[in-house]
Amino acid sequence: MNKLKEFQVDNLKVKVFKERNSLGREAASDSSDTIKKLLKEKDNISILFAAAPSQNELLDSLIATDGIDWKRINAFHMDEFIGIDGKHPSSFCRFLKDKIFNTVDFQNVYYMNGMASDPIRECHRYSNLLERTPIDIAFIGIGENGHIAFNDPHIADFDDPEPVRIVELDPVALQQQVNDGHFKSLVEVPSKAITVTIPVMMKAPYAYIVVPDRLKAKIIKRTLKGPINEECPGSILRKHCNAVLYLDNDSASLLEL
């Protein structure tokens, strides 16, 4: 797997690899073992998926893994832009449909509706789904500003009382959507989104955090070396009881390993 190093920061296990293909394969191997274990213990499970290019290698390896009974798995996603429908090429629904949701046969796939006439009611609908079908495994990315899902630093709340809420994206998050290729320019990026909140991710018994790319090096250093606070939302993952962070040589380049 070309692993360079493995260590722990607070509760968070960290694995560093030479390149992102190895990172994705290891994350898929570890998480698929957990999926199979949970399916021996429960009739069905629920998984929360991040939608970003950082997840590509993980998702490609995961769907190629033998022995996963997808028909007993419910799928959720973390966030969606307001004002974009699920067929839009930049929709997170569309991204996950193309990468995994239309490739394997899930028991249910629960989509956020970015075109809902009442976004607040849509938040309540999705919150009720999460309450009825609690998340067992969360696949998480960390944004260039440290956000997890769209919990940007200016609105992140480690004790958020709402499972799902409407948020206004900060300038770094808006630019990242261009950097990731979701939009051609800043003017095209919607300013608001629906997102699951941090407690939803922290309550998942297992979390797999996949963060390749040199653009993430500064925030990974802050996530692992800085204080745990909402100024870097991803730092809270150091308190998760069962989480693994997967880095490549680029995203770990400022850690002085």
Residue 97 has pLDDT above 90, yes or no: yes
Question: CB atoms < 10 A from the CB of 131, how many?
Answer: 10
Residue 89 has pLDDT above 90, yes or no: no
* Confidence at 1, pLDDT banded by 50, 70, 90: low
| 129: nearest Cα among 108, 100, 158, 156 | 108
Coil, strand or helix at 191: coil
In the chain, the amino acid numbered 21 is N
Instruction: Return d(Cα 73, Cα 132) in angstroms, integer.
Output: 14
Instruction: Return d(Cα 91, Cα 107) in angstroms, integer.
Output: 22
Query: Mean of the per-residue pLDDT values for the chain?
Result: 94
> What is the CATH code of the structural domain delimited by 3-248?
3.40.50.1360
The encoded tokens of residue 30 equal: 């570890």
Q: What is the pLDDT of residue 2?
A: 77
- Find the mean pLDDT for residues 36-54: 97
Residue 222 has pLDDT above 70, yes or no: yes
Residue 29 has pLDDT above 90, yes or no: yes
Instruction: Return d(Cα 199, Cα 163) in angstroms, integer.
Output: 7
Residue 37 has pLDDT above 80, yes or no: yes
Q: How many helices (H) and strands (E) does the chain have?
A: 7, 11
* Confidence at 36, pLDDT banded by 50, 70, 90: very high
Residue 89 burial class via C-beta count within 10 angstroms: exposed 0-12, middle 13-18, buried 19 and up: exposed
* Confidence at 28, pLDDT banded by 50, 70, 90: very high
* Confidence at 129, pLDDT banded by 50, 70, 90: very high
Task: Dump pLDDT digits (tens) for 155-184.
Answer: 999 999 999 999 998 887 778 777 777 778
Q: What is the pLDDT of residue 187?
A: 81
| 235: nearest Cα among 134, 137, 156 | 156
Asked if 179 and 214 count as a contact pair (C-beta separation under 8 A), the reply is no
Instruction: Return d(Cα 245, Cα 73) in angstroms, integer.
Output: 23
